[in-house]
Each structure stands twice: as C-alpha cells, then as structure tokens.
Amino acid sequence: MSSPAKNVRVAVVGVGHLGKHHARLFQALQKGGAGCELVAVADPSEQARKVAEATYEVPAFADFRDLLPRPGFAGVDAVSVVVPTRLHREVASVFLEHGVDVLVEKPIARTVADGQALVELAERHGRILQVGHVERFNPALRGIEAVARSARYIESHRLAPFTFRSTDIGVVLDLMIHDLDLVLALVQSPIRSVEAFGGAVFTPAEDMASAIIKFENGAVAHLTANRVALKPLRRMRVFSRDGYASLDFQTAQGMLVTKAPGWDFRQLDVEKLDRAQMGDLWKFVFDGLLQVKQLELNEGNPLQEELQAFLQCVRDRSQPRVSGRDGVAAVAAAEMVLAAIAKNRWE
C-alpha cells in the first residue's frame, strides 16, 4: 500500500498588496485538502509581518533567507516570490540554488538577461520555475480558443488609476506585460516589428504606452496601457477568419461571434436575397448566418487556479503553463516596445 503524498511546504516572500492574497489562497487550499501547507512568510516590513502572523498564524521572517533549512526550521519545498521586480532575480536565485521550486510574479525580471539567468538556474538545479501571468488562467480564454488559434488582429486596452505601487518599473513592465504575454501565447509567431509611443506623467518611467506589434505570420496586435487613468479598464478583442471575441475583464462580460457551420459569404448571392421576406435583418444575420455566445468571465478564481497549477507542477514535476521561458519572451517583447518608445519619447 503506497504512503500518502506529503504536503508541499510553501512560503510567500513579500506579503504586501498582492502577496497577502497568495498567502490567503495557499492557506485556503491547505484547508481544502489541496496537499499544501503554508508554513511561513517573509517580508522586510515589520507591520506586514505582524499582520501576517496574526492572520495566518505562521512564522514571519524579516530575511527571506530564513526560509531555507536550518536548526529548528525544516525549510520549504516551494515559494511564491511577490517582491518588487528589481528584486526578482536576487530572491528567486537563492531559492533555486537551494533546491526550492519558485513561482515568481510577473514580470519574471526587469531585463531579459536577468530572466534568462533564472531560467538557466532552474534548469541546472532541476527546479520548477513558473511566472505569475495570471491572465493565462482566466476561464474566458478557454471560451475563445477556436477564434484565438487563428488570431489575425488583437486589440487590447489596459488602464488603471495611479496606485503608487510598482513604481520601480514603467507601465510596459507593470501592465502591458499581461497583454504581451497573452498575445504571444495566442499568436504563436515571432515578432517582426514594433512601433510604440509613450511617456512619463507622474513617475520617471513611462506611465502610458501604445504599441503596434506585427508578427511574422501576418498577425497584428495593438496594445494600449495607462496607469494614470481615472477608472480601470481591461478589454481585449480578438479577430480571426473564424469570427471574433470581445472580452471585458473589468465588467466580467464577454461575447464570442463565429460563423454558422457551412456558412460561406462567397457562396451567398446577396443580390437574390429578398429582404422583404427576411424579416428582421439583425435576426437573419446573428441567428442564422452567425452564432453569438455570451461568455461568463466571473467563473472561478484565476489566481487560485494559478497557485493550484504551481502546486501540481511541484508534485508531478510537469511543465508550468507559464514557464520561465514564457516569462522571458514577454520581457523580450516589452524591451522591444521600450526601445521603440525611446525613439519617440516626449520631452
């Protein structure tokens, strides 16, 4: 009779705005029998540590290195690294070198070089390295797979009010990186060219950016990101030969429009259509020629699914849905956008 698998001992490094949700969900997964145990957190902020200790009833350390094995503490099997981007390489490297699997929040690092260093370190030590591009776990994406596989044009708007968080990076690595990763996953083609414009409003880095990305397979993506908007907005539209999808992540509404089976406009003799007998033209088109499906965007919890997927990879040593190499590819695209912005930067 086989012995039950031991719980994955997990910790969260950085329990600020986002990290506290990682800790909360890990503990919820623990109570739900997901085979994990939140054993500690780490954060340099004394206030954050006090809140974490009171909330999760686990030890809270000032130095993340105290999560490694030592007398009186068995160490951890896996960590969520939710610290400022400039610290991603430093913190994640320590755990990878000591045999700990790592989920590092997006972006994987500030530069391609730093991200690639983490990928190589994980491969050298046989460790799981997953990047926290949480939008990949949004259930809405499963609903648009048919259109997304042949995407030809993607339009995305990601706006947010200024929050004073992530000021160590600009809006491209802060917000646009989400959509860069999604677009790369959908299009599955090398980037041919990038045109971009952006500039600083409140911070030294760019606070708004707009980019047109053209791919080798002919697909085009137009991405806009703004972190000084009055209201948040997260919308994406995907067009292909099979139809189009419109997603509004902010209002949890979505729509998928596809051609009815066997429908071919080239075989439709428009001149012979009797519009008087067609009745409602809208109904004729959208109930007959096209199929419209409303998408539920508020199903599930993408962050929880992301953490569950990470734990599964830790247990069975499978490839993460968003690997370290995927994270590096997103940063490489971001660097191309930033280079294009630098050519058009306003004074």
DSSP symbols for 153-219: EEEEEEE----S-STTS-HIIIIIHHHHHHHHHHH-S-EEEEEEEEE-SSSSS-SEEEEEEEETTS-
- Identify the segments of the chain with pLDDT beneath 50: 1-3, 276-278, 281-282, 284
CB 109 within 8 A of CB 168: no
pLDDT at 237: 95
pLDDT at 346: 65
pLDDT at 140: 75
Question: In the beta sheet, which residues pair with residue 234?
Answer: 158
For residue 181, which of 11, 337, 22 has the smallest C-alpha distance? 337
If one counts every other C-beta atom within 10 angstroms of the C-beta of residue 132, the result is 24
C-alpha 197, offset from chain centre:
23
User: CB-based burial of residue 264 (10 Å sphere; 0-12 exposed, 13-18 middle, 19+ buried)?
Assistant: exposed
List the chain domain ranges.
Answer: 8-134+303-323
Residue 73, CA distances (Å) to 9, 59, 162, 296, 310 in order? 11, 10, 40, 44, 23
pLDDT at 287: 53
Phi, psi of 38 (to 5 degrees): -75, 115
Q: How far apart are CA 300 and CA 196, in angstroms?
A: 35
pLDDT at 242: 81
Q: How far apart are CA 95 and CA 81, in angstroms?
A: 10
The residue with tokens 């247990």 is 315
pLDDT at 219: 96
Domain 8-134+303-323 has CATH 3.65.10.10: no
pLDDT at 1: 38
pLDDT tens profile 66-84:
999 999 899 999 999 999 9
For residue 118, which of 266, 326, 267 has the smallest C-alpha distance? 326
The DSSP 8-state label assigned to residue 66 in this structure reads G
Output the pTM of the full model.
0.89
For residue 336, which of 111, 153, 151, 97 has the smallest C-alpha distance? 111
pLDDT tens profile 322-335:
999 999 999 999 99
CB 133 within 8 A of CB 162: no
pLDDT at 148: 79
Return the structure tokens found at 126.
């046989």
If one counts every other C-beta atom within 10 angstroms of the C-beta of residue 16, the result is 14
pLDDT at 282: 47
Residue 118, CA distances (Å) to 132, 135, 347 in order? 14, 22, 35
